[in-house]
Amino acid sequence: MEAPKGNAVSVALDQKTADKLAYYKAADGLGLLAPRDWYCAGTVGSGGSQLFVTLRPLDVNKYFSKRRDEALDGPVVAIVERFGSTSGRSDVAEVILGIFPAYKGFVDSVKEMFPGITLHPASFSADKLTNKSKRSVRYTTPAEIDGLGTHWGLKKNATPIEGVVILIDQEWLDVRLLSVRLPDSLSAVVEPIIRQVELDAKQP
């Protein structure tokens, strides 16, 4: 699809930070702050939606193949949402088992709906996790380690990944995962990027 015609978005930033960032938004509605003048691509399917902002244009031939992670091996800001009411429900359940045990009732409902389904708790033992609320956890995935930052598509490399994973509390639970991997020269904008995703998640 062609990129949607966007409307201006009001974001509270100091001028120095604002000069380095732009607000990107996919046609399906997911949006985020990321470095200005980068490239973006969004996808949506029955299980969820994604928005990637990359230093180089996304190689779609790699992304839509078994080499998906090779398309996301460099600097990137990515937001992925999995829908708990559709075919993304098993992904949501596995993240809940690994990070949000208070919501195990959702996992039980998935098992009741699909007897015999196999769910594997997502393991993020190498990540540094910081609980922000009952439904929001910030994380750092170390360099050269698989964790939350690489869970849905990014390829590990020599740069750590920072981000946040959020449960969106609707009739069914959705999971929204932000992954931010930027060069050292842009380290100052990581916190504003994460904070804006947290603010957006509070909107109805």
pLDDT at residue 66 tops 90 = no
Task: Determine, yes or no, domain membership for 91.
Answer: no
Domain hosting 20: range is: 15-85+125-131+143-182+193-201
- Residue 73 counted as domain residue: yes
Q: Which comes out higher in pLDDT, residue 3 or 109?
A: 109
Rounded to whole angstroms, the Cα distance separating 20 from 22 reads: 7
Is 116 domain-assigned?
no
Total structural domains in the chain?
Answer: 1
Residue 25 in domain: yes
Mean pLDDT for the chain overall: 92
The whole-angstrom separation of Cα 137 and Cα 160 is 17
| 59: in domain | yes
pLDDT at 166: 97
pLDDT in tens, 88-140: 999 999 999 999 989 999 999 999 999 888 888 888 999 999 998 889 999 99
Question: Does 167 reside within a domain?
Answer: yes
The secondary structure of residue 161, as a DSSP letter, is E
Closest CA to 53 of 39, 43, 64, 42: 39
**Residue 169 within any structural domain of the chain:** yes
pLDDT digit string, tens, across residues 17-52: 999 999 999 887 789 999 999 999 998 999 999 999
pTM for the complete prediction?
A: 0.93
Q: Is residue 136 part of a domain?
A: no
